[in-house]
Chains A and B, each alone.
Chain A
Amino acid sequence: MSKSNFTRRGVLKSGAVAGAGVALPTIFTASSAAAYMNEPTGGSVTLGFNVPQTGPYADEGADELRAYKLAVEHLNGGGDGGMMNTFSSKALQGNGILGKKVEYVTGDTQTKSDAARASAKSMIEKDGAVMITGGSSSGVAVAVQALCQEAGIIFMAGLTHSNDTTGKDRKANGFRHFFNSYMSGAALAPVLEKMYGNDRKAYHLTADYNWGYTTEEAVKSSTEAMGWETVNAVKTPLTQTDFSSYIAPVLQSGADVLVLNHYGGNMVNSLTNAVQFGLRDKEVNGKNFEIVVPLYSRLMAKGAGANVKGIFGSTNWHWSLTDEGSKAFVRSFGEKYGFPPSQAAHTTYVQTLLYADACERAGTHNPCGVAEALEGFEFDGLGNGPTLYRAEDHQCFKDVLVVKGKENPTSEFDLLEIVEVTPAEQVTYAPDHPQMGGADASLGTCNDGA
């Protein structure tokens, strides 16, 4: 008869220890040989493009993806080089990043934070992506940025306009080239004052989520500072499709300006409804009734059709800009795809080049080295004029475009015209500005995942 050394208690104990070991999160630990998370060891480096490929922002995501692919082509020495030829930094040689060929994987954010985190996590863990970029929503950007911080990966934000991305939710591993709500408010206010005077009563309709709140706050504070009165600000559910019951009371409120803090489908529908209700043909307080859309996008303007005519808003970039960088990008993108790029495409293309350039200048893919190279980096030639990647909050500071829906568009792409290029100084704020999370907001420390 053999005697076993196993006891019930012993088995349970070792089982518990083994179980705990298995249950330990295996993600986000760089292999012992690597100096940092997902250090590229072979002849290539993998970037993770996390964009909405399904869901309501799929068209925007598709344009972002086109731009990413174009950027990869240019980085690897293909095509005409696009904005690499006009970029003030000459570190990029067209031989990949640090001599390694650029490859990419894509994920589908579905414009949902949980799906976006899951796809980013998969690209980091399974595909070994050394940088994650993308997003068409601030909720997604903030969520993925936090994940990248935790993982020790650089996050180059795509289309995200909420103050929080580089405000209260800023992270040491996250960088945003796109402008934000504060900048929209600051850029729009002087133009609105010039066009509509300083004695106006504004009525806000605001999408009931993070981006809506920061945009409302930004536009309210800049218009109130120039003498406008805010009559009312009503939150509308994100899922709302028919805005008639929110629009109808606007005329009775005595307001003479309607500010639509809406984006995407919300913006298309609320603007269409407002125009249907004849707001733009009315005269209130002896003035023409006006509508303002703080954040414009060409793709959304297309959805709203003729309703955008004459309506002011702001945008990060527009293909009709005539600087050398914009012209090079429009030519390169237009020849490849047959139509001009959107602002989402522009910002994602630029972010990819900026990341690659920072790696070259830092001489490493290590996120902390890359972050250091991006912090305080001043550049030009990427379509927005002289730009600063501010070290304190990882936000780009550059000129902001105030645009207006074109009265006589010549094509489906020619919907907006640039009214004013607001200089960067006018939209710059202190890193501890109250709208940006105040003194409590901090980047934390860089994480390289080692």
Chain B
Amino acid sequence: MDAIVLQILNGLDKGSAYALIALGLTLIFGTLGVVNFAHGALFMIGAFCAVTLSRIINWSYTTISETEKNFLGEPLEVQVPYVHDWFGVAAGNTLIDWAVPLAILFSIPIMLAVGYIMERGLIKHFYSRPHADQILVTFGLAIVLQEVIKYFYGANPIPTPAPEVFAGSFDFGAMLGFDPNTIIYPYWRLVYFAFAAVIIGAVFAFLQFTTFGMVVRAGMADRETVGLLGINIDKRFTIMFGIAAAVAGLAGVMYAPINSPNYHMGMDFLVLSFVVVVVGGMGSLPGAVLAGFLLGILESFASMAAVLDVLPGLNQIIIYLVAIIILLTRPRGLMGRKGVMED
């Protein structure tokens, strides 16, 4: 029983990342009709916003240590962060420690701008082209962004830890009445789940309860009519692209402490998120969220040793297997709308 609870927790956690990326992906598809294969790269750029802010806060000057030696036996060069001088050592260290949460604020304008530039600069030229062209150009863009990041940050993963208070794990099981030490879960992963829930809730509330959201939803349903009413729907859709980029970026920022960011982390998530969108139903926002959590949980269960003993290799195929079954029985996906991608 405890093993099942643990894997559900794991699934929800994995699902949060899938859902956040898939949400942006389906939002872009639903509004602009573009299949954006560069969305994984936006997630990756988000994670590197955390890396960058952490480096900015850690910006240091060099002093020569009088006592310590470096590997060549010469006096050791010690890096002293400027924040130590500006705010004192204690406050400076707190700033350094809290780099990842601070990166949330830092990343939003950057991701909105990246999304805006990407849409205006490249993707808008491909609106009237077939989906295959859009996939090729966005996939190419993803590779370019990846290589740019690799050029500046290298190919190795860069450790970007969460604040000290969230390090380690707590006994979730004891809280639920299980034996102690059976269900241990890292704090930061619970934070990630809660954060994802807030972001998903915020996106839905924005679309549901604001005039802007209402117009966007109307545009998604019938773009032409909304245009005829004299509303500049293209501008709103561009903004939605920026918002989708920001959602993927935030997912990446908060993911940085879970796995050290590297330049190809976006690709690792892209394919899965795409399956999530297809299973959830192209263009359906609740479908993306539902499918994200569903596939996350299934993947976690499939990687349990007990399951792998019976069906070795299931962990590698489960997501695609479920995708095939769902698409065979419900070709539009779990919550897909009629007429989407069916012409």
Contact = CB atoms under 8 A, between A and B. Distances in A.
Co-assembled chains A and B: yes
B304 A269 contact: no
Given A252-B3, A335-B72, A276 B155 contact: no
Interface string B150-191: 100011111101000000110000000000011011101100
B13 interface: yes
B93 interface: no
A248 interface: yes
18 contacts: A56-B262, A58-B150, A237-B315, A241-B268, A248-B6, A273-B259, A276-B188, A276-B189, A276-B258, A277-B169, A277-B184, A281-B169, A303-B157, A303-B158, A303-B159, A303-B262, A304-B260, A413-B71
B39 interface: no
Interface of B: 2-3, 6-7, 9-11, 13-14, 68, 70-72, 76, 150, 154-159, 161, 168-169, 181-182, 184-186, 188-189, 258-260, 262, 264-265, 268, 299-300, 303-305, 308, 312, 315-316
Chain B interface SS verdict (over half):
mixed
B300 A245 contact: yes
A304 B159 CA distance: 6
A414 B71 CA distance: 9
Given A239-B268, A278-B168, A265 B14 contact: no
Given A251-B184, A252-B6, A305-B161, A241 B259 contact: yes
Nearest to A270: B259
A235 B302 CA distance: 12
B155 A57 contact: yes
A282 B181 contact: yes
B150 A251 contact: no
Nearest to B186: A276
Given A242-B14, A276-B169, A411-B70, A303 B264 contact: no
A410 B154 CA distance: 22
A174 to B, nearest CB: 27
A412 to B, nearest CB: 10
Contact of A249 (B157, B305, B312): B305
The 4 closest A-B pairs by CB, nearest first: A305-B159, A278-B169, A58-B155, A303-B157
Specify which of A232, A245, A413 lies most central, judged by the most chain B CB atoms within 10 Å of its CB. A245
B259 A269 contact: yes
A59 B184 CA distance: 35
A234 B305 contact: yes
User: Chain A interface residue count: which class?
Assistant: 35 or more
A330 interface: yes
B157 A265 contact: yes
Contacts of B6: 248-249, 252
Given A234-B305, A245-B304, A249-B6, A410 B76 contact: yes
Contacts of B262: 56, 265, 303
A288 interface: no
A230 to B, nearest CB: 12
Nearest to A305: B159
A246 interface: yes
Contacts of A265: 157, 262
Nearest to A233: B305
A284 B155 CA distance: 37
B303 A330 contact: no
Contacts of A335: 72
Given A244-B300, A248-B10, A265-B262, 20 more contacts: A59-B156, A234-B305, A245-B7, A245-B14, A245-B299, A249-B7, A249-B305, A252-B182, A265-B157, A268-B157, A269-B260, A276-B168, A278-B186, A281-B168, A284-B181, A304-B159, A306-B159, A307-B159, A330-B72, A411-B76
